[in-house]
Amino acid sequence: MSSAAASPPGPPTAGPGATQQVFPDGRVALTDAARLDDPRYANDDLRPVPIERRTWGVYNYLSLWVGMAHNIPSWTLASGLVALGMNWVQAVVTIMLANLIVLVPMIMTGHAGTRYGIPFPVFARASFGLRGANLPALIRAAVACAWFGIQSWIGGEGIFLLAGKLLGHGWQTAAEFGGYPWTQWLSFALFWLLELAIIARGMETLRRFEGWAAPFVLIGAFALLAWITSEAGGLGPLLDQPSKLGWGHEFWKVFFPALMGMIGFWSTLALNIPDFTRFGGSQRAQVRGQALGLPTTMTLFALLSVLVTSGSQAVYGTPVWDPIQLAAKLDNTAGLLLALLTVLVATLSVNIAANVVSPAYDLSNLWPRRISFRTGALVTGVVGVVIFPWKLISNPHVYIYTWLGVVGGLLGTVAGVLIADYWVVRRTELDLAELYLPGGRYWYRAGWNWRAVTALLVGGVLAVGGSYGGPFPAGGVIPALKPLADYGWAVGLAGSAVLYLLFERIRPAAQAAAGVGAPKRAT
């Protein structure tokens, strides 16, 4: 833990009867006068984290990002760009730039979590309303549940393939059920149960797990690099390949859509990062931890994947981008066990942190009286199975283009509304107790801020309305918007932010006079 998290925040300031107190480091906590006792909008998991429990330091956020970034899909990101015609330098630079860009909204939304100790769905109440916050929360939860199922299937597949090397031919040729060997279903079930067992123990267990998982996965990745370098007698073929696109018009035509795709990889976390920063010991800890963790580790992992794949091409005559398939080529039992454990830990690390924490809070926000964080996590696990992730993977065009592409495009619009409201309209000042109070400042009309919802919907149309390719018409769903389709995340974020600020400027005078949804200075 960093010193920033361990140092006491100092005495707070608060006026008589105030419901919140401000500490010298800028963090805000509730006073004894605050009463968050409405079970429709508050439970133990949604209430602000007490100041004494906000202990995460720089290393905790650094290890969180190392654990999340080092997973099988991010390992293969570079392969997708190389397949588009980039050379390895162009691919790695594109990934690095994308993560530097997405880091900005990540830190901006994370600020609210650290300052007020609140999770993403409660933060969204300030701009969308106490009830309206369920809309962006459920959009985020839907994406996370799908990713949870897919990552769980990938983790189970890793166990199935690598265990088959240890247990013999019979393991992989077992009797089939539903199109897959029963041993693969068993591997999936074991991995799924292990995930739920860890998350059911709460966020403190997650913090400890990420703390040791991060260096372990890094060691495993470098061990794979050392092995393939030794086998290849050096690295070379892939690194010597020239770009098929050059640096002219053809490159830039591919670069911008690829950049948006790489940004989209972590755009989900740009929304719900308050779920983690709410435990931050200081703004400095969350900013430095994320800045050191996200762009550096993603770039390093992309470089590692290129180097290892280069070695695989030298050894096997063709590049092997999938680390599970590559590890399965090991003949050494100890090496196979290390590879199996590394794949297991890496996939557990990203899936629990990125795809369980968010929907657990989001579902809890939907029905606080009945759904706790643990219950939400269990629901996520069940939903991740009943969506049949093995079918989604078997037909990636349907999944990516018809659902993740569209729903993922909306995530940028949610971020645009949140950032515009928190940083421009409210100047980072929220009334903490009223985020849980029906009929209060953030109630708007019947619990919904229709300005935010309208900005979200219009921004979403701008972001994804021009979608083309796959199941979409070649000319785009809305042909006039096709030129925007390759920049969906950026268009959604900028479009919804501008629309929301415009709506705020023309907010009815009667509402402004009554202070409905208006910013308020901390007391």
Residue 523, pLDDT score: 41
Q: Token match 């999770």: residue?
A: 119
Q: What is the DSSP letter of 282?
A: -
Residue 176 bridge partners (DSSP): 181
Q: Give the pLDDT of residue 230.
A: 83
Quick one: pLDDT at residue 390?
Answer: 85
Of 470, 499, 449, the closest CA to residue 491 belongs to: 499
**Cβ(41)–Cβ(357) below 8 Å:** no
Tell me how far apart the alpha carbons of residues 277 and 275 are, in angstroms, rounded to a whole number. Answer: 6
pLDDT tens-digit series, residues 89-129: 888 899 999 999 999 999 999 999 999 999 999 999 999 99
pLDDT of amino acid 521 = 46
The low-confidence residues of the chain, meaning pLDDT below 50, are 1-6, 510, 513, 521-523
Q: What is the DSSP string of 39-75?
A: TTT--TTTSPPPGGG--B-HHHHHHHHHHHHSSHHHH
Enter the pTM of the model: 0.86
Handedness of CA 367, 370, 372, 378 (dihedral sign): negative
pLDDT at residue 409, rounded to an integer = 75
Angle between helical axes of 249-272 and 357-366 (0-180°, round to 10): 50
Residue 446: count of CB within 10 angstroms of its CB: 11
Interatomic CA distance for residues 295 and 272, integer angstroms: 18
Q: Are 349 and 67 in contact (CB under 8 A)?
A: yes
Question: pLDDT value at position 269?
Answer: 87
pLDDT on residue 333: 75
**Whole-number pLDDT of residue 469:** 73
CA angle 155, 408, 451 (to 5 degrees): 145
What is 77-125 written as a DSSP string? HHHHHHHTT--HHHHHHHHHHHHHHHHHHHHHHHHHHHHH---HHHHHH
Short-list 17, 137, 13, 19, CA closest to 437: 19
Q: Is 472 helix (H, G, I), strand (E, B) or coil?
A: strand
What is the pLDDT at residue 1?
42
Whether the Cβ atoms of residue 121 and residue 46 lie closer than 8 Å to each other:
yes
Q: What is the pLDDT at residue 441?
A: 92
Spatial contact of 330 and 247, defined as CB atoms under 8 Å apart:
no
Residues 250-288 pLDDT 10s: 888 888 878 887 887 788 888 889 999 999 999 999 999
